Homo-oligomer: A and B are copies of this chain.
Amino acid sequence: MSRADLSSSACTVARAVAAVGDEWTLLILREMFLGTRRFDDFLRQTGMSSHLLSRRLKKLVALGIVRRSAYSERPLRHEYSLTGMGQDLWPIIVAMKQWGDRWLLDGVPPVQIVHKGCESVTQPQMTCSECGEPMGARDARARLTRDFSAVREGSADPA
């Protein structure tokens, strides 16, 4: 199986991975959440090649994650911004930041997140939607729905 096939997997993690699960795409998203909009700024802030940036942006636009719009006629200039679908990727980037801050860094994280609601510096965490408690890997159990369980018993389709 090649990477291109992931998007048709039944597993929604695999589909998400196919959409945004590569190094440069994740960095582009980080920049989007920091407010970067322009091609050249993405280049500067991520250090990627323009070739790749161009391709990644096209893909993100095609998927509906990013919107391309003109911010100036004459000269015609475009900027890139997140759609609703793209904004919803925030927890993924934040989860990466939290993990990186904890495990890959000594000292003070270079970026802090302020919650607009309460105006405090926050350490966003995953919580249970039902009881509101913070949760991690040990507090969770996966349950397969429907006939999907058959897939994971046998040695068939990667799901």
Contacts and interface: CB of A to CB of B under 8 A. Distances in A.
Contact of A110 (B10, B20, B27): B10
Contacts of A23: 3, 6, 17-18, 21-22
Contacts of A76: none
A91 B99 contact: yes
B96 A117 contact: no
Contacts of A12: 96-97, 100-101, 104-105, 109-111
A17 B27 contact: yes
Given A23-B22, A122-B135, A128-B122, A115 B87 contact: no
A interface, over-half SS: mixed
Contacts of A115: 128, 130-131, 133, 135, 139-140
Interface of A: 1, 3, 5-7, 10-24, 26-27, 30, 33-34, 44-48, 82, 85, 87-105, 108-118, 120-146, 148, 152, 155, 157-159
Given A10-B110, A33-B142, A118-B131, 14 more contacts: A11-B110, A11-B111, A16-B100, A19-B104, A88-B137, A111-B143, A115-B139, A115-B140, A118-B128, A118-B133, A120-B131, A121-B130, A125-B126, A132-B132
